[in-house]
Amino acid sequence: MNLSPSRLSRELLAAATAFHSRKLWTDYDNDDCFALVVPEEDHPMFVSIMGQGGEEFGLMLLRGPAACHNLLAMLAAQPGDTDMPDNTAFIGFSMTRFADVPPFGRALLRKAGMVCRRETLVPFFIVKDAGRQPRAVAPDELRKCLFALKGILKAHDEGMLRPTPLREGAQVLTLTVLGDVLNPDVSSDCRRCEGEHQPNIVTLPNVPGDLTDLPRLPERWLIGFPTMPVRIRGDDRTVRAVMVVDEESELILSGAPVQGGVPDALEVIYETFRGYGMVKKKGLPREILVANRELFAALQPVLQALGVGCSHEPSIPLLDEIIGDFLDMHAENSGEAHPSEDVQEAMPLPDDLAAWKACDKRLYQRAVSRLPNTEHQPTKAIARYFGNVDEGEKFLYDADDTFPGFCFFEWFWIDYRADKWAKTMAERMLNEPFPEPERTLLRARMEAIPSLYKVQEIRKGESLTLLDVLFGGETVVHDQGLSESAAVDMSFPARLFPAGNFHLVSPLGPAVPALAVDDAIGFLEGHRLDLTSEGTRAKAHLFGHLWGWLEERRRQKPSPPRMANTDGETLCFHTATYALADEAAARKAIAARDDIEPQDDGTGYYWLRRGEAPRGLGDTIHLGTLTFAGEALLVEVNSAERLARAREWLDAVPGIAFQTVRTRSVKDMLEADVPLDDRPTPGEKIPMSPELLGRVRAMLHDHYMKWLDTPLPMFGGKTPRQMCQSAEGRKRVTLLIRTLPRSRGPDGADIDVPRDEMLKALGLGPK
């Protein structure tokens, strides 16, 4: 079917919107990839569904003979590797606010006749060719994009879309889309991941002869190859700068722009060796660190032949700072330069807590001042942190509680990247001049590992002792606000970072009640949070999802708990009445039983079962009470089953005859407000002698240590000790022990859980 360009544009935007509505990112991770064959595209495209991380919802289709290799390289990139390979070619779209779509991306919207407001969420299509600047979708590419989207939607709806993590040389799901572009035929098979590893491969020249005779310098140089934010009229090739820096002196030896990619960059570097750079320094350094992986791949063999050490470091802080300053000076329409500032402020003394806190406050205010204005809210970041924009805005704009906004911003400025290759706000701030004490705190914040911390002890108005639930260890943090609002045994996600001789805390999410911590960890793991330092760094945004999870948990009306006796029978109080004809005969027959014990006041008997009590409840179970009252015998038990067992022998006792039974359920008693005569009123404390408190502590200690060898339903009937035979089991048991809430005695005194002793007994504690 031949469609006009405007019809193609409308159908393409409609397909993109339909794709977005499926929310496929909830089912597939970024590395759950597949191949796609569409008409008029020479090579299979390799596809990644974007949005699993909570941002950039859309689709990326890598093109060309090296599509598989390039996608693998992007998925395997290290966290600091923010530079997309220039030889990557792709078509893609993401759902973006209309106000944030660049002019070339709006052409497709205009062609489709789409009228948008600034806040309208629209598909933003982008194309990048190898070595070229991003551009709009060309007319001949509209059909390919439409084939791709229609084919993926149909494959998903018919159950064919089953991508798997992409691996070099492994079988990959391949969809073939043919026929009518509006209703294509789709078939699937599996093929090997293969193709060229280096498109447009650089043919390395022989090592120039004059380089071998250059003097050797006892220096280490840093080389970057950043993309320049400039365009040259009539030339759409990518503009990059070759940055060569002497690490010790921090001098820029070369800062030349190139458009010819790696070959031209190599020539600039060779000229720098020859002494023709910005600083006339002739010679070969002893070692070079290269931040760009493409340039490293081409340069490393040359340097090896010259006897120069060479390694790839995707993130080099000094080089990043110098490149940031360099790009600021050369950016088009950059506005105003960074204001001059006295950066020679003295470092606070290590034990001057007030000075460190004042410094941290200034740093925080500096970060807040960089927030986007109200016309440019970071909607992608809100969606990533809270799970979706609507949920996030509900928490952020709640005037009665500013804490969610505070936690969101703590994550936003330290962790959030607009895309995989973008820098965080904190990384960009390090490229600006500001006082060294603040820079020290910023670096400490950036290096801290996000984790879940449990409040162990509180010193009101001063500090808290926090237990790292995920990684272990206790730390005292100095935060007056938290020390006055936190509760012992609650947990919350945070970063702890040093400030002189102290530690400060940066909350990343909501407070989790003591009894919900284990469920919260399960929720985070269910969202693919890897409980390692690398994992919590990479997905710190998932701590923000706890806001919605806790609210939903509170909204759900809990089912009334099933209350049972020690035999697991539903608790229901039964009082049976027997008419009393011969009390002496009845007493004699009842007292003759082995399971009967007389009451101290002589009014009746206790019905007991000895030697079968559950762990921690002594040796005897109290089954019921038999009381002689006037001309009746009252039999009181707490379940229908126990009454039935009592009647099996009571009905044969001489001198009594069954008359009636009265029942009261727990619900009946609560609704009738039956007084609990033998229990303390709310807030009342029962004094305990030191001897009694010691016995209670010893009993609980014995209970916890025996718990290690108790079969538990949550472990499928295994004991904690048996669970520790596997690495996953050891992790689960460790987290459970760390999150156990402390007990409280009748006098209100806290009784600690012997966590260290329990962990040591299982071989999990420090050696």
What is the per-residue pLDDT for 81? 53
Amino acid at 350: P
Average pLDDT, the chain: 82
> Which has more pLDDT, 640 or 368?
640
The beta strand positions in 43-99, using DSSP E, are 45-50, 58-62, 90-97
Question: Could you tell me the pLDDT band of residue 692, with boundaries at 50, 70 and 90?
Answer: low
The pLDDT value given to residue 229:
66
Residues 424 and 412: beta-carbon distance below 8 Å = no
On whether the CB atoms of residues 11 and 182 are closer than 8 A, the answer is yes
The answer to whether residue 374 scores a pLDDT higher than 70 is no
- Work out the pLDDT band at 185, boundaries 50, 70, 90: very high
Of 247-256, 311-320, 342-351, which gets the smallest average pLDDT? 342-351
Mean pLDDT of the region 477-503:
90
pLDDT given for residue 541 in this prediction: 94
| pLDDT attached to residue 36 | 93
Instruction: List residues bridging with 128 in a β-sheet.
Output: 90
Average pLDDT of span 185-213: 69
The answer to whether residue 375 scores a pLDDT higher than 60 is no
Q: Out of 398-407, 444-453, 527-536, 657-666, pick the least confident.
A: 398-407
Contact 199, 66 (CB under 8 A): yes
Distance CA 562, CA 570 (A): 7
Question: H or E segment at 265?
Answer: helix 262-273
pLDDT, position 561: 64
The pLDDT score that the predictor gives to residue 343 is 43
Q: Looking at the predicted structure, is the pLDDT value of residue 691 above 80?
A: no
Query: What distance in Å separates the CA atoms of residue 240 and residue 225, rounded to the nearest whole number?
Result: 6
* Cα→Cα distances 264→172, 267, 380, 399, Å: 36, 5, 37, 56
Phi and psi at residue 131, to the nearest 5°: 75, 10
Mean pLDDT of 158-182: 88
Taking 50 as the threshold, does the pLDDT of residue 342 lie above it?
A: no
Give 600's pLDDT tier (boundaries 50, 70, 90).
Answer: confident
CATH T-level assignment (fold) for domain 209-330: Nucleotidyltransferase; domain 5 (3.30.420)
In this prediction, what percent of the chain has a pLDDT beyond 70? 83
Residues 46-67, mean pLDDT to the nearest whole number: 82
pLDDT at 333: 37
Structure confidence at residue 12 as a pLDDT band (50, 70, 90): very high
Query: What value does the mean pLDDT take over residues 671-679?
Result: 46
Mean pLDDT of 199-205: 44
Domain boundaries, the chain: 5-192, 209-330, 353-555, 572-671, 690-761
- Measured distance CA(339)–CA(742) in Å, rounded: 53
Chain segment 79-95, per-residue pLDDT in tens: 555 556 667 889 999 98
Give the residue with greater pLDDT, 645 vs 82.
645
**Gap between the Cα atoms of 596 and 649, Å rounded:** 12
Of 119-133, 418-432, 434-448, 733-747, which gets the smallest average pLDDT? 733-747
Work out the pLDDT band at 559, boundaries 50, 70, 90: low
Lowest mean pLDDT among 181-190, 208-217, 712-721: 712-721
Q: What is the pLDDT of residue 200?
A: 41
- Residue 571 banded pLDDT, cuts 50, 70, 90: confident
CA distance 85 to 64: 14
Buried b or exposed e, range 711-731, using 16+ CB within 10 angstroms: eeeebeebebbbbbeeeebbb
For the stretch 17-22, contacts whose Cβ atoms lie closer than 8 Å and that sit 24 or more positions apart, written own/partner, are 17/123, 18/149, 18/153, 19/58, 19/59, 19/149, 19/152, 19/153, 20/57, 20/58, 20/95, 20/123, 22/153, 22/156
Highest mean pLDDT among 451-460, 683-692, 696-705: 451-460
Interatomic CA distance for residues 512 and 519, integer angstroms: 10
Q: Tell me what the mean pLDDT of segment 313-340 comes to.
A: 62
Q: Does domain 572-671 have CATH number 3.30.70?
A: no
Burial 537-549 (b: 16+ CB within 10 A, else e): bbbbbbbbbbbbb
Task: Please report which confidence band the pLDDT of residue 328 belongs to, taking 50, 70 and 90 as the band edges.
Answer: low
What is the pLDDT confidence band of residue 679, given thresholds at 50, 70 and 90? very low
Instruction: State yes or no: pLDDT of 676 exceeds 50.
Output: no
Average pLDDT over residues 412-441: 87
Confidence check: pLDDT of 162 > 70: yes
- For residue 678, pLDDT over 50 is answered with no
Residue 626: pLDDT band with limits 50, 70, 90 = very high
pTM, two decimals, is: 0.45
Maximum average pLDDT range among 77-81, 250-254, 611-615: 250-254
- Bridge partners (DSSP) of residue 198 are none
* Res. 746: pLDDT tops 80: no
